[in-house]
Structure formats: structure tokens, C-alpha cells
Amino acid sequence: MAVKIINENCKGCELCVKACPFDAITMEHKTAVIQPGCTQCGNCIEVCKFDAIEKSEEAAQTFDREAYRCVWVFAEQREGKLMPAVAELLGEGRKLADELNTELCAVVLGHQISDLASELIGYGAEKVYIGDHQELDTYRTDAYTKVIGEAISAYKPEIVLLGATHIGRDLGPCLAVKADTGLTADCTRLEIGDEERNLHQTRPAFGGNLMATILCPHSRPQMATVRPGVMEAAVFDPQRQGTVIPLEVNFQKGDIRTKVLETVKSIKEQVSLSDADIIVSGGSGLGSGEGFALLEEFAKKLGGVVGASRAAVDAGWIDHSHLIGQTGSTVRPSIYFACGISGAIQHLAGMDGSDYIVAINKDAHAPIFQVADYGLIGDLYEIIPCIMEELDRSHE
């Protein structure tokens, strides 16, 4: 299905241009022209007074739907260790594969990484496609795109899932272009929604103010990057059995346009929000960056880590690596302390999966109290020291 302009009916009124929320209609020689950014939402059809716009089947891409089977998960590894997002992708991939009555597979690239195959099988992969080559030791876009792209062309997976990590966000679009298909980024929900085996890919849109569900009905594979911390991780079972399929890896001169000269690791302390069991987060209610010293002390006593809202990060009070929310990390700790955080929808999107939410805020009407399991109304600079005193007494 595609949106089509009936040129002889178009009067050049530009109502469709103004109605399009995606700037996907332009005027050329006083006639509307549909641009590639069109999502077929139909707004333009509704506002057109001259019946000059319609939906057409002409642009629908034909492909052999039956030729595409299996759910693939890109198993990102660094220095021979799987990233935490991989278990989450395999957990979600298992649900999709069962619903589609097909196999769950993983694809992993690197050098001397054969041991990872058994780990991936333990997390539920029935087949593991492994590309082992010295040129794949460190991630480079060209190398990974070539190997996985050729594997997709050869084995034709129905769905390909990647973590919305730095690597996944770089690799996903390149693979989609190579496979001539679409890609939905930063998904928070995936489900099979119809008899055509279309993957309904849901992600926040318009700054997190609404959720958009996106389909890719006219091409395969269906590809999505999935935000870490959102999906439930697969349970590891060392007794599982699976098949390992080596991928043929051949690089010609010019295939890889970059060379890794040196890897420099950051010397600053990094926070691991996605793995934390307890998180103490601060927002604009702290009043200044000095307030995070109190939160650091509080988190240390609890054995947790410090997070932050967008307002605190934008104010320069704490590094971006601590950001939780729509444009930061998505977390699911056992206990989440929201200190001086109002509870904007963008922040809630990143932490509402926490087992218990404790809100501390002066404003009794703050939206955060609507999702909190426990709410403390008052000055956080008075409440948190009292909690820490009680913690100290309990350990005496």
C-alpha cells in the first residue's frame, strides 16, 4: 500500500503539505509530490477537498513470504563476553519464534569466540551462526555489515533483532539498507499481530508522548533494535542442545575502509545502570549538582548506583552516562529511588518496570507519586539523612 497523487485532480492548495506530520509532501510545479518519508498515515487524504490523493497497491513490493523463516538475534560481544542485552533479545526472540512456530537463532562475530556458541544455546538459541576471523576481532561497520548481510541473504531470516546499543544502532541501519528492508529503532514492545506474520514493532514517538506501532509488510526480514532493559532476559540452561553453523568469512581489498590503530578505554568511572539492583536517581529537585554527593553516599550504603533525570543531566550536574529515561537507559531494578524527580513521561518510560518505586519530593501533586509504591513528601535533604541514620542503626 502506498499514497498516490492523482495529478489531474490536484489544485495545488497545499492543505496536504500542512497536514502531513512527517514533512513527506512537497509542491512541485503547483502539484503535490509524495516523498520517501511518507508513512501512509492518511492525514493528507482526509484533508484533500479535491479527491486528489488515494492509497494505491501499485508500490507494494512483492516477495516470497514463505522463503523467510526463523528469528535471528545479533549476539553482540566485546572482548569475548556477551553483552547483557543479548539474553534479553533471546528471551523476547523465543516468544516470537514460538508464536511463529519457527526456530530461534543467534549470529555472533569475532575472533576466537567459539565458546560463545554454547552460551548462546544455553540461553535458548537453537542454531548459532558464528563468524570467526581476525578482522572481526574489533567491531567495524564494514566488516560486520558484509558478513551478516551475506548471511541474511543466504539464510533468509524472517525477523532480525539487535540491541539498541552503540554498536546495534550503527549496524542495524547498514544491514537494513543491504537487505533492502525497513528498520524500527528503540522498540519497547514486539508482537506478532496478524495472519501475515507481520511483526508489530512499538516504540515511543514525539518525545515519548505517544507510542507508535510500526509494520514492515512489504519486505523481509523485519528488523528492529530493542532498547536494553525493557525485555525479560532468557533463563540460562546448560543442558540445552543446538547446532553451530560456521559462516564463510572472506574479505577482499577495499571491503573494510577503516583500520583500528588503538583502543583507548575511558579512565573515568562508568555506571552500570542496566545491571543495578538498586538505583538512587536525582532530578531538578536537588537544586544543584552538589546534591548528587548526598545521593552517592545514600546509594553506597544501599549497595546501589546513582541515576539521573534529563533535567539534571542537561543542567550539567552529572554525566550523561547516568541518564535514565526515553533518551537514556531503561532500567528494571528491584528498588528505584526517585529523589526530586517530578515524573515526566519521558523519565517514567525508562524506569516504570522497577519492582518497587520510592518517590521523595516536596510537591505532593508530582506525577511521580502516581506510579510510586511508596511516597515520601518532604525535603529530600532531610529525609535521606534520616533513612541513612536508620540504616546505620540497623547494622550496629
Residues of each annotated binding site for FAD: 309-310, 340-347, 361
Distance CA 14, CA 102 (A): 48
Binding residues: 309-310, 340-347, 361
Using an 8 Å Cβ cutoff, are 294 and 388 in contact?
A: no
Using an 8 Å Cβ cutoff, are 349 and 227 in contact?
A: no
Task: Please give the sequence-ordered ranges of beta strands (E in DSSP) within 12-156, or none if there are none.
Answer: 25-28, 31-34, 53-56, 71-74, 77-78, 81-82, 104-110, 127-132
Using an 8 Å Cβ cutoff, are 388 and 297 in contact?
A: yes
Query: How many of the other CB atoms lie within 10 Å of CB of 375?
Result: 17
Distance CA 320, CA 323 (A): 5
Opening angle at CA 124, ends 85 and 242, nearest 5:
130
Distance CA 360, CA 339 (A): 5
Using an 8 Å Cβ cutoff, are 69 and 151 in contact?
A: no
Query: How many of the other CB atoms lie within 10 Å of CB of 70?
Result: 20
Place of cell 528498520: 183
